[in-house]
Amino acid sequence: MNPTLLVLVSLLILHLFATGGRTEALVGGWTPIKNVKDPHVVEIGQFAVDENNKNQKADLKFEKVISGESQVVSGTNYKLTLTAKDGTVENKYEAVVWEKPWEKFKKLTSFKIVKA
């Protein structure tokens, strides 16, 4: 086998092994949020409920974030499953918030009840 070709094939195989077990998020991919009690994640959940209340003229009370994922875009999308109370009834909701912290920008892009 040609020595140059052997080196190229060896480098390709080495590269595949070195990157095959990569665990960091790819840009655009969703990554699970490990700590849903992180103050910033809780703040995003509270923001989602507050914005929904303003937009829908509702009176939901934020309870907690149950689970979530983040996605790197031009900023970060947070997709959170959270609980909030409507009077005495607790429901589960899925909220998506787009944040660009360097611009002090947050926008609720989706808020919907999760059917049991």
Q: Mean pLDDT throughout 94-112?
A: 98
Q: Mean pLDDT throughout 3-31?
A: 57
Residue 72 maps to a domain: yes
CATH number of the domain that residue 108 is part of: 3.10.450.10
DSSP codes of every residue in 30-94: EEE-S-TTSHHHHHHHHHHHHHHHHHHT---EEEEEEEEEEEEESEEEEEEEEEEEETTEEEEEE
| pLDDT score of 20 | 47
Task: Tell me which residue range forms the domain holding 51.
Answer: 31-113
Residue 6 maps to a domain: no
Question: For residue 25, is pLDDT > 60?
Answer: no
Higher-confidence residue of 94 and 25: namely 94
Give the span between the Cα atoms of 115 and 52, in whole angstroms. 18
Residue 94 maps to a domain: yes
Residues 6+ apart with CB under 8 A from 83: 63, 64, 66, 90, 91, 92, 93
Residue 22 maps to a domain: no
Give the span between the Cα atoms of 63 and 79, in whole angstroms. 16
Residue 68 maps to a domain: yes
| pLDDT score of 16 | 45
Residue 25 maps to a domain: no
In this prediction, what percent of the chain has a pLDDT beyond 70? Answer: 78
Residue 17 maps to a domain: no
Count of domains observed in the chain: 1
Distance of CA 103 to the CA centre of its chain: 19
**pLDDT tens-digit readout, 33-70:** 999 999 999 999 999 999 999 999 999 999 999 999 99
Neighbours of 48 (CB within 10 A): 27
**pLDDT tens-digit readout, 12-23:** 454 445 444 444
Q: In this structure, what DSSP letter does residue 4 have? A: H
Residue 13 maps to a domain: no
Mean pLDDT for the chain overall: 87
